[in-house]
Amino acid sequence: MTGKAAAEAGACRAEDTASEPTEGPTQPSEEVAASEAPVAAPRAPAPTGAEPAPPSEDVPSAPLGLTVEDVSDRAVTVSWEPPERLGRRGLQGYVLELRREGASEWVPVNPRPAMVTQQTVRNLALGDKLFLRVAAVSLAGAGPPAVLAQPVHIQEAVEAPRIRVPSHLRQTYIRQVGEQVNLQLPFQGSPKPQASWTHNGHALDGQRVSVRSGDQDSILFIRSAQRSDSGRYELTVSLKGLEAKAAVDVLVIEKPGPPGSIRLLDVWGCNAALEWVPPQDTGNTELLGYTVQKADRRTGQWFTVLERYRPTTCTVSDLVVGNAYSFRIFSENLCGLSASAAVTKELAHIPKAGIIAKPQGFVKRDFSEAPLFTQPLADRTSTAGYSTQLSCCVRASPKPKIIWMKNQVDLQGDPKYRTLSEQGVCTLEVRKPSPFDSGVYTCKAINALGEASVDCRLEVKASATH
C-alpha cells in the first residue's frame, strides 16, 4: 500500500482498520508546510483511553534525528528520519505537535498524519518559545514521540551589516577648493543598523559637514570644500555587536603658487640658461611640471617654449641674433597653471657677430637621359573578339617619340590600334583582335640622345564554337 493510500485509510471508519498492512513507508518527495495557524482543538493521533492499548510491536518506534533546519522571524522548519521499527500494521504518516513555553497542552500542527519527513510551522509571533515533537502513526496507533531537547526561540532575524563602496570612491576622491563633496555609501543590514562617520579618526565638524543616514545608505555632504577637509572619512555601520567599516580618501586641491624665483645663468650664441626655485605652495597636490615662456623685447608677445617640464633648470635655444628676451615660468598641477609667474629681472641679449655670408655657387644639373624602359612588355594570350592592351614604362629626357610596330611594321594610322602615352606609361590597345592579329609587337622610344625598344608576343586564339 502506498503512502497516499495509507493517508486515506486514516480517514476511514474503525472497522476499515482490518485492511492489509503495508510492507514499509514511502519516502516523501517534497516538503509539506503546516497550516497557516496551529489548530486550536487538538486531535490526538493515538487511540482514546477507552480503547485497549495496542501491542508495542504493532506501533512504530520514535522517529530519529529530529533537528531544526531553519528559524526565521515568522516560521521554523524541522526535519527527521524514519523510525527504526515501522510496526506490523504499516506506517500511516507523522504528526508534528508544538507547545508554547508556559503551556501544558500539545497542539498538532497537521491534524492528519502526513508522509513527510520535514515540515514548516508558519505564522509565528516574535518572542515565542516553542517545544516541538513528532510521532510516527500506523493503523494501530501512534508510537512514542521524538522531542527537541531545547525550545526554539522565534526572534527577529539579524542580517550582518555590509557596506558597498562605489567604484569611483575606491580611489582618492579629488575636488577643487569651493566645490561640493558628496559621499554616498550604500549599506545592508537588518534590522536598520546605526551609521556614524569620522574624519581622520575624529568626530565631524557639524558646522561644515552634514550627514544623512537612511535605511540603505549614508550620505556625507560638504557644500564648499576647503583644503582642511582633505583626509580619510570612515563610515561605521553597527548592529547588535556586529559592525562594518569603509573608508574614503578625500583630497581638496587648488592652483599652485608661482616658482620662488628665476635667474638667468648664462647666455651664449643663440642660447640662454635658466634656473628657478620650486613654489612654496603646490596646491595640496604634486606638481605636474613647469611651463617656460619667452618674449622678444620688441614685440612683447609671450611664446611657450616648454610644457610640463619637471626639472628646475633648462636651456632655451634658437633665439634670434640681435634680439633681447625676457623669460617667465608658471607652476602646474591638476587644477592648471599658477595664477602668476616668476619673471626674469634682466634681459638675455643675443649679440650680433661679424659673420660674412659666402654663398656657394649653384651647379645646374643636367637631367638629359636617353630612353630606358623600366618596365618591358609581357607576352600575352587573348581571345578573338575581346580587346586587349599591351603596356610598358619608359624613362627619357627630353620626352621621347613612341613608335609601335607589329612584325616590324609601323602601326601608326591603323584604326584597329589605339596608342596612349602618359607619365612614361606607353599603352597599345588592340581592338577586337582576330587570330590574324597574332605576332610580335614592338615599342620603340626615340629622342635626341638615343633610342630603345622592347617587344613581346601576342597570341589571339579563335573563339570556341558551339
> For 160-253, which CATH superfamily applies?
Immunoglobulins (2.60.40.10)
Query: Does residue 24 have a pLDDT over 70?
Result: no
Domains 67-154 and 261-350 share a fold: yes
CATH number, domain 67-154: 2.60.40.10
C-alpha span between 7 and 331 (Å, rounded): 90
How high is the pLDDT of residue 145? 93
pLDDT at 326: 95
- Give the model's pLDDT for residue 236: 93
Q: What is the pLDDT of residue 362?
A: 76
Strand 91-100, strand 129-138: pairing: antiparallel
Please state which of the ranges 260-264, 327-331, 356-360 shows the lowest mean pLDDT: 356-360
Q: How far apart are CA 285 and CA 279, in angstroms?
A: 12
DSSP helix/strand/coil, 336:
strand
Q: Model confidence over 245-291: pLDDT tens digits? A: 999 999 999 999 999 889 999 999 899 999 999 999 999 999 999 99
Domain coordinates of the chain in residue numbers?
67-154, 160-253, 261-350, 369-461
Confidence band for 355, pLDDT divided at 50, 70 and 90: low
Q: Are 397 and 416 a contacting pair, CB within 8 Å? A: no
Measuring CA to CA, which residue among 33, 34, 79, 63 is closest to residue 136?
Answer: 63
Give the Cα separation of 353 and 349 in Å (integer). 12
> Does 399 or 17 have the greater pLDDT score?
399
Q: φ and ψ at 276, to 5 degrees?
A: -145, 170
| pLDDT score of 364 | 81
pLDDT tens-digit readout, 72-95: 878 889 999 999 888 777 888 999
- Which CATH class, in words, describes the domain spanning 369-461? mainly beta
Which range of 16-20, 324-328, 361-365 scores highest in mean pLDDT? It is 324-328
pLDDT digits (tens, 9 = 90+) for 122-175: 888 877 888 999 999 988 888 899 998 888 888 776 778 899 999 999 999 999
Confidence of residue 26 (pLDDT cuts 50, 70, 90): very low
Residue 18 pLDDT greater than 50, yes or no: no
Q: Determine the topology of domain 261-350 in CATH.
A: Immunoglobulin-like (2.60.40)
pLDDT tens, residue by residue, 285-308: 999 999 999 999 888 999 999 999
